[in-house]
Structure 1
Amino acid sequence: MRAPLAIYLEVIENYNKSGTILRHTQVIREYLNIKPDGSDARHLIVISIGAAARTKDEPSDLINVAIEELIRQQYELQQDNTYTSWNFLKQDPGTPTITHLKDLVNYLTWLSLQNVGIEVLSNIPDIKIKQFAAEANTLNAAQMKALEPNK
């Protein structure tokens, strides 16, 4: 006889909250020789994307390079989006209302406190910097507004 769906969901929820899932996860990692996600994996992501960015432009290509490198070095892949800082960094400032302008000022203040100097550009090839500058110079405000959101 099958258990009703509610009982099944309760069992799964209790399992997910228990210490058993942590022990099972550890045993599976050891059996498959998989390293858990952590600071070493994040460092590997930064290094692999940094190297790939010298020749690739598309974010999807950069993400694929990072995923391939994580898999190659046997790191566990995250099942959810834990990289919310990047999402925060790339947010559009919104319409020019007082509230959005205040948010933009707060954002720019936060950004200036991140202490990122010009030296972060030192490893970017000159041709990429020129490409970025050319893209920025070719669009005026009206053209930028006409761009599709995913660009």
Structure 2
Amino acid sequence: MPTSTRRRDTPPPRTGRSESEVLRGFLDYLRASIAAKVDGTPEPQVRAAGTPSGTNLLGLLHHLTHVESSIFLGEDVTDWQATFQAAPADGVADVVARYRETVERADAVLDGCPDLAAPVPRPRPGRPAPSVRWALTHMIEETGRHAGHADILRELIDGRTGR
């Protein structure tokens, strides 16, 4: 059984005057939380299935990279289940860097979207884009859900807790 390494929890953001600032603040908080859970986790534990379904830390971050790309950048994902496994050649640093780069690209798109009711500007012929509000809310839900999974998986690996 891993020894517990308790860290002080980072509280959620308390700033933001506008709805957009609040939504983006919470999304950034969750993005940083899950990236921190994966970053520094040793091989092969980072890929080890922590549940019978095969859920693993590296796969969660790899999946979220694809969700960000799909929602904000218009990437077409044909096999969502496959996004839960990082390629064997991809190390922890590679997946974390790719996630952070995708987040930066998504943020650049969001920076150009002052109207939360407007559709996310993404090239996806034949499929309507969701509103910016829906996209942000969905990413908060999706990232928060998987950040919770990551909390449990990381604690099982080495006892590390907290955000």
Looking at secondary structure, tell me which structure has more helix per residue: 1
Larger radius of gyration, structure 1 or 2? 1
More RCO (CA 8 Å, sep 6+): 2
